[in-house]
Structure 1
Amino acid sequence: MLVRRAEAVLGRGGRPAGGLVDVRIGGGVVTEIGPPGQRLARQRGEDELDAVGGALLPGLHDHHIHLMSLAAAASSVVLGPPEITGPRDFANRLRTAAAAARAGTAGGWLRGVGYHPAVAGDLDRVALDALTGDVPARVQHRGGALWVLNSAGLRAVGLGPESFLDVEGVERTPDAVPTGRLWRLDGWLAGRVPRVPADLGAVGRAALAVGVTGFTDATPQRRPSDAAALADAVASGALPQRLTLMRPLDGGPALPDGISPGPVKIMLDDTNLPPPDALAERVRWAHRAGASVAVHCVTRVQLVVALAAIGDAGPPPPGTADRIEHGAVVPPELATLVGAAGLTVVTQPNFVAERGDAYLAEVDPDDLDWLYPCRSLLAAGIAVAAGTDAPFGHPDPWRAIRAARERRTASGRVLGGGERVDGRTALDLFLGRPGDPARPRRLHPGLPADLCLLRTPLDDALADPDAAHVAATIIDGALAHTAP
């Protein structure tokens, strides 16, 4: 393929070349970049794509996403903001969904996602029973750690009032009756409820349309069947993006061809934090197995424990870096320690736009200036990359790029304005390699030809970050998507 008249994003700082260039692609890599203003001769049988002055850049990589959950979300009922904003909307949506589930298939289950207590308060089985009746129902908190089941759902999974199942993470009343609230039990629950249709092809097509050519799936407790479904989608081409899977602490089964191993994922929750020495041993185990770790940290205390453990465990294998996932609260004193440890922070600036108003109302004022930071981390020399955390965040990286640049909530309020970065820096958060997420790729001969072509020059696109600027997406040298 020969891409004509492109503004090629090259070199230090991601600056375009000094004029439009032709870019030749062959064998799945960029093979030649012509001199600015000079045409490359077309070779026999070579397809041509006219960029018409649009920017040609490496394809975007989402460094933290949950693909099976994202695919399943399309078959679920959205029960949280911004679609649902109050108790009346919530009750109407849930009653309608329960009636549909009662008359439908999928075992008659109702699956709700995206709930936040700002809509209708904290949920339990009693609150759900009043709206769903005898239909088994489960509703996920938008943070992903909590499922709430109604009484019919609890009975269906073996947790009815008469049950004596001893399952860690099942919240109970003082009388030992399950409240319906299940914490970090995705894997356990998945084996006891009907399987939700998950169209990974739709996920792949939607990602192509926004210029995404790679994913790092950060799902904890991934079921073997889910890994197999992802592998099948990659092998069939339904999911055309490059795929990296984070691994469980025990390593898990060997990954199929076409899927790259990522770091070992370690979850932390404030309610059951491990002692730093126990966590350090988990980190050392991963290092001995030749892997770095990616530690989930969304509070100050989680980050403090993670830093102590990683410091005690010692450096990761050569050529790798341990990661802090989310880095939701990183004040300057902890940023200094993050930098000293050589960690990479994989953040989600999109949450500032998507959840910022709730943060302003609920988060400790001492933490507000350090929520999902970016500029201060980069200024401290810390490696920073980004993911969307979809489906818990919106899967469009351009929204995250805009959020990193503007730091505005849905209502237009500025949250952590000192953490704003310019558009090029925000874009770079999604241009890193899976194994080196904070080092952005640039066009050069030999680069794998996973590319994104914009309709406009880069400066124009970044002045108003939007997926509508994507004109075409190329994967492995083949045109995978063209916009209308």
Structure 2
Amino acid sequence: MTDLILRNVEIDGRTGLDVLLRAGAVAQVGKELEASERCEIVDGNGCALIPGLHDHHIHLHALAADRVSVRCGPPDVTSSDDLARTLASAPGDGWIRGVGYFESVAGMLDSEILDRLQSTRPVRIQHRSGALWILNSVAARLARLDTADHPGVERNDAGHPTGRIWRADTWLRERLPATTAPELDSIGAELARYGITGVTDATPDLPPSTVEALMDAHATRAIPQRLHLLGAPSGFRPSEPHCTVGPYKIVIADSALPDIDDLVCSIRRVHAAGRAVAVHCVSREAFVILLAALDEAGLHRGDRIEHGALVPAESIDDLRRRGIHVVTQPGFLGDRGDAYLRDVDPTDLPDLYRCRSLIDGGVPLALSSDAPYGPVDPWEVMVAAVTRRCPTGDVVGAVERITPPEALDRYLAPLDDPGGPARHVTIGAEADLVLLDGPLTEVLDDPDARRVRATWIGGRCVYSGP
């Protein structure tokens, strides 16, 4: 890898600086650095150079599958007639995989309702929360739901499957026709275009085939980003450099809240193996259960809450004292805040996707996408954290707004320390960098992914804009 000098860039408000990248790291920072004959030079034109962004909660394969699935919810589909037309026009003649469904379209779907919309082809539609799949009767027969013995398979009073399957993605996948893992090249390129140089895949209980596919994607640079896995099995050791194993993902499903003793045992088992836990927690009930379970099981450095969709004000200090990190997604407010205003109990709205109060309360807070279930663009998430504005223009929890620099910092923490101190462009740091198209204050006045001019990972350019 040849040396690279980024000339005339702004770093932390200091202008006119040069940065030398060598062997994947920042080797020098100063004015008018001398370049060797073989050194590549990029003129920064006085624009800001910042560390690469980290998405601390994303689902890579689900995002790739989402990109080739049929959109079944708002804003593309808003009625049962829309949904019927969308399913009828789906390409091919085999399985239809739908995503993004929400009850405002045609109510709470089950096999019977879905049959009235599409009865000839096997259909499976995912709720936009990612927690639920709904199968029509053709698909239910092919997936052998009648003989299924899984707690996520919902049954009616007569004991027959309703077609709804809760939080059983891996189990369901094993009962469907065999398919290869979706290609990740376009996802890696999209993330690089946003300035993302590191990702935490938060998919739980990754089977060996999926872990292998992720390692292959990283080895071939389909996913050039540094990769941190929450769902890797206990004892897994990545075969690829720049791939790491993070806290172990545990899901507290609101469709079936766990027995607290079982949750305590799970947490203790993970801690005993030397890993922290990353616990999916979106409801007030789940939050209370989790804190009680952590108090009983004991804490481990790096324990974290995923989503923290509802955090009671009186519990903020409890989180700080326990050292628990929160990885949240205010992008949901910009994406579907109008539904929250309509459907969420008004008493819960002040607790929704907190940011300001957690930062002020000393709780380590990171921002992330939860893509494909939330918007993947980090700049869009930052805007949501700053404005708290939903699609209708209404504001959800104005007191929880944070400043643009604070929002950016929540994307700059290390992968293994979400909510920790923001990384900086300093000598010895990994050369994971983003060149913007203007001074940082100007870019943060109106955050937009189009302001990303170039992205480097380990000193290698993975995106160069027009």
Deviation at 1:185, TM superposition (A): 1.0
Q: Does 1:243 align with 2:227?
A: yes
Partner deviation per Cα, 1:310-354 (whole Å, 9 max, x = no partner): 1222231xxx31000000001211212111211000000100100
In structure 2, do the counterparts of structure 1 residues 6 and 152 end up closer, same or farther at CA, with 3 Å as the change threshold?
same
Residue 381 of structure 1 corresponds to which residue in structure 2? 362
Residue 401 of structure 1 corresponds to which residue in structure 2? 382
- 1:114-129 correspondence runs (5 A): 114-129=100-115
Q: Does 1:327 align with 2:308?
A: yes
- 1:437-448 correspondence runs (5 A): 437-439=418-420, 440-448=422-430
CA contact (8 A) 2:84 2:118 kept: no
Deviation at 1:202, TM superposition (A): 0.4
Residue 465 of structure 2 corresponds to which residue in structure 1? 483
Q: Does 1:54 align with 2:47?
A: yes
Partner deviation per Cα, 1:234-264 (whole Å, 9 max, x = no partner): 001111110011135x516443223210110
CA contact (8 A) 2:72 2:101 kept: yes
Amino acid at match of 2:393: G
2:339 to 334, 358, 364: 358
C-alpha separation in 2, matches of 1:44 and 1:330? 57
Residue 372 of structure 2 corresponds to which residue in structure 1? 391
C-alpha separation in 1, matches of 2:84 and 2:281? 33
Residue 158 of structure 2 corresponds to which residue in structure 1? 175
Residue 147 of structure 1 corresponds to which residue in structure 2? 133
Partner deviation per Cα, 1:30-50 (whole Å, 9 max, x = no partner): 11110xxx3111123111111
C-alpha separation in 1, matches of 2:174 and 2:299? 37
Residue 256 of structure 1 corresponds to which residue in structure 2? 239
The residue matched to 2:453 in structure 1 has which SS? strand
The residue matched to 1:138 in structure 2 has which SS? strand
Identity %: 45
2:395 to 414, 417, 420: 414
CA contact (8 A) 2:385 2:402 kept: yes
C-alpha separation in 1, matches of 2:92 and 2:114? 14
Deviation at 1:197, TM superposition (A): 6.0
Q: Does 1:73 align with 2:66?
A: yes
C-alpha separation in 2, matches of 1:314 and 1:390? 31
- 1:203-214 correspondence runs (5 A): 203-214=187-198
CA contact (8 A) 1:472 1:482 kept: yes
The residue matched to 1:174 in structure 2 has which SS? coil
CA contact (8 A) 1:231 1:256 kept: yes
Q: Does 1:466 align with 2:431?
A: no
Amino acid at match of 1:480: V
CA contact (8 A) 2:57 2:370 kept: yes
Residue 212 of structure 2 corresponds to which residue in structure 1? 228
CA contact (8 A) 1:30 1:447 kept: yes
Residue-pair matches, total: 460
Partner deviation per Cα, 1:385-419 (whole Å, 9 max, x = no partner): 01100000111111000100111001111111000
Q: Normalising to structure 2: TM-score of the pair?
A: 0.96
2:84 to 72, 82, 91: 91
Runs in 1 of length 4+ with deviation above 4 angstroms?
A: none
Q: Which runs of 5+ in 1 are unaligned?
A: 10-15, 103-107
CA RMSD between the two structures: 1.3
CA contact (8 A) 2:7 2:44 kept: yes
C-alpha separation in 2, matches of 1:192 and 1:271? 22
Q: Does 1:450 align with 2:446?
A: no
Partner deviation per Cα, 1:206-248 (whole Å, 9 max, x = no partner): 0111100011000013222111111101001111110011135
CA contact (8 A) 2:228 2:244 kept: yes
CA contact (8 A) 2:205 2:249 kept: no
C-alpha separation in 2, matches of 1:252 and 1:66? 21
Deviation at 1:196, TM superposition (A): 6.4
Q: Normalising to structure 1: TM-score of the pair?
A: 0.93
The residue matched to 1:432 in structure 2 has which SS? coil
Residue 186 of structure 1 corresponds to which residue in structure 2? 169
CA contact (8 A) 1:186 1:221 kept: no
